[in-house]
Amino acid sequence: MTEVTLPTAAEIQSLLLKGPYHQWLGLQVLEVGEGSIELSATWREEWVVNVEGGYTHGGILAALADLTADWALVSKTGKGVPTIDLRVDYHRAAKGNLRASGKVIKFGKQFSVAEAQVFDAQGHLVASGRGVYATPAAKA
């Protein structure tokens, strides 16, 4: 059986920050495991949808759920995978810096399923999501 070398947090950070959107989100890889990842996102004023409340737009939360689930798969494949379907649930209004945790639920030869949870700085769950991703030619 061939042993697969998993990418390190530094390697994933380097890959992640090749994307200008990821740079804009202020993403930082906190931890990587086989089929799991934890990221942080640094708050920006441009995220605000409600000026009086200072709440973060749901699109930012959806993007974090999607990319965190996707990058949990990168921890297994070593490369990005396209999103086929995504469902996001919003649990409470979000403010400030965010942390997202993702894990692979099912790793397949063609399709994989991963999920993510997004938390605010106080540790409250603000959004969660589950996606289906294309994983052709991925390393098993």
Cα–Cα distance for residue pair 127/65, rounded to 1 Å: 7
Angle made by CA atoms 69, 73, 7, in degrees to the nearest 5: 125
- In angstroms, what is the C-alpha Rg of the chain? 15
What confidence tens digit (pLDDT) does each residue in 54-103 have?
Answer: 999 999 999 999 999 999 998 888 788 999 999 999 999 999 999 999 99
Q: pTM for the complete prediction?
A: 0.90
**Burial label, 127 (beta-carbon count in 10 A; 0-12, 13-18, 19+):** buried
Domain limits, the chain: 9-134
Pick the CATH number of 9-134 from 3.10.129.10, 3.20.20.300, 3.30.70.1560, 3.60.40.10: 3.10.129.10
